[in-house]
């Protein structure tokens, strides 16, 4: 596989907050057609990695390449135009705005209005419970529904690579299962996915490949099924 075919390639990435190190020489990649998960406890550096990939944190060293192009430190709006979209931790919807307005904001970088309208229909087919509530303020939806809106908004940018930062945090088990199904479905449409999760059981169940982050460094990586069956991983992350 050529470098140009790799949706995301992170190499030697280190980052700090002031004098406090957060990431140490991280290598990670998402190959075409993959769901890749990054697992780690609170404070392991997962969100810092997402922010570094998205241009919100400037790395001290290392590179980020998107579909073969180096994009290290590039602004988030430019990255959206290059096919990257993020569902941030905590959803970060505009609560006073309607559901439709939030979805339209997801397509801010697009000029193909006919295609945007088609994608809006596709997104609402994916989340049928939202279709009849387009004029409802986003902040009035339940936590699980707000997570669905956040995913729908990200899809409205027509991404080639989707980053999901803790999409199941704080959700009821039934909603977690629904989000897991949606991730698998989205990947089946040709969108490459990096899933950042504390819920290791769900993450390893849906992913093709997995990385374990501890103390800002990658301490293990392998096929998701291989790691799920590792006694060490089971003890540390799966409560087995």
**Which pLDDT tens digit goes with each residue over 74-132?**
999 999 999 999 998 766 787 789 999 999 988 988 888 899 999 999 999 998 888 88
Q: What is the pLDDT of residue 3?
A: 45
> Which CA distances in Å does 56 have to 61, 69, 75, 76, 88?
15, 18, 7, 7, 12
Please enumerate in sequence order all residues whose Cβ is within 8 A of that of 61, keeping only pairs 6 or more positions apart, or say none.
12, 13, 14, 25
- Torsion angle of the four alpha carbons 52, 54, 57, 61, in this order, in degrees rounded to the nearest 10: 40
Number of H helices, E strands in the chain: 9, 10
pLDDT level of residue 2 (50, 70, 90 thresholds) = very low
Mean pLDDT over 52-57 rounds to 92
pLDDT level of residue 172 (50, 70, 90 thresholds) = confident
Q: What is the pLDDT of residue 18?
A: 78
Would you tell me how many other CB atoms lie within 10 Å of the CB of residue 52?
25
Return mean pLDDT, the chain. 91
Task: Please determine, for residue 60, whether its predicted confidence score (pLDDT) is greater than 70.
Answer: yes
Q: What is the pLDDT of residue 141?
A: 87
Residue pair 22/58 in contact by the 8 Å Cβ criterion: no
The CATH superfamily holding the domain 1-83+159-240 is: P-loop containing nucleotide triphosphate hydrolases (3.40.50.300)
Q: What is the pLDDT of residue 138?
A: 85
Half-sphere exposure of 45 (CA within 13 A, CB side): 25
Task: For residue 66, count CB atoms less than 10 angstroms from its CB and return exposed for 0-12, middle for 13-18, buried for 19 or more.
Answer: buried
Task: Please determine, for residue 188, whether its predicted confidence score (pLDDT) is greater than 90.
Answer: yes
> Which CA distances in Å does 79 have to 8, 64, 76, 87, 225?
12, 11, 5, 14, 31
Q: What is the pLDDT of residue 91?
A: 66
Would you tell me how many other CB atoms lie within 10 Å of the CB of residue 204?
24
pLDDT level of residue 170 (50, 70, 90 thresholds) = confident
Task: Domain ranges for the chain, please list them.
Answer: 1-83+159-240, 92-158
Residue pair 196/50 in contact by the 8 Å Cβ criterion: yes
Express the helix, strand and coil content of the chain in percent, nearest 5 each. 40, 25, 35
Could you tell me the two tokens for 114? Answer: 């006919």
Letter string b/e over residues 83-94, b meaning 16 or more CB atoms within 10 A of that residue's CB = bbbbbbbebebe
* Alpha carbon distance 52, 167 (integer Å): 18
Mean pLDDT over 2-30 rounds to 88
Please enumerate in sequence order all residues whose Cβ is within 8 A of that of 212, keeping only pairs 6 or more positions apart, or say none.
39, 40, 218, 219, 220, 221, 227, 233, 237
């Amino acid at each position: 596989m050529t470098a140009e075919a790799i949706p995301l390639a992170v190499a030697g990435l280190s980052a700090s907050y002031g004098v406090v190190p957060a990431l140490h020489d991280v290598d990670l990649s998402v190959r075409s057609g993959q769901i890749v998960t990054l697992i780690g406890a609170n404070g392991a550096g997962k969100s810092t990695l997402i922010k570094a990939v998205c241009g919100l944190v400037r790395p001290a060293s290392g590179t980020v390449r998107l579909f073969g192009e180096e994009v290290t430190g590039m602004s988030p709006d430019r990255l959206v135009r290059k096919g990257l979209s993020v569902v941030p931790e905590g959803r970060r919807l505009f609560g006073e705005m309607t559901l439709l307005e939030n979805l339209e904001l997801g397509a801010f970088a697009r000029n193909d209005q006919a295609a945007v309208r088609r994608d809006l229909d596709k997104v609402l087919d994916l989340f049928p419970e939202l279709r009849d509530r387009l004029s409802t303020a986003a902040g009035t939806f339940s936590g699980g529904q707000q997570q669905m809106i956040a995913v729908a908004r990200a899809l409205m940018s027509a991404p080639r690579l989707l980053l999901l930062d803790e999409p199941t945090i704080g959700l009821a088990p039934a909603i977690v299962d629904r989000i897991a199904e949606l991730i698998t479905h989205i990947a089946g449409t040709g969108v490459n996915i990096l899933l950042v999760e504390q819920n290791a059981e769900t993450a390893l169940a849906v992913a093709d490949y997995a990385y374990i982050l501890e103390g800002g460094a990658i301490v293990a990586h392998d096929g998701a099924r291989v790691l799920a069956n590792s006694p060490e991983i089971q003890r540390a992350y799966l409560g087995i």
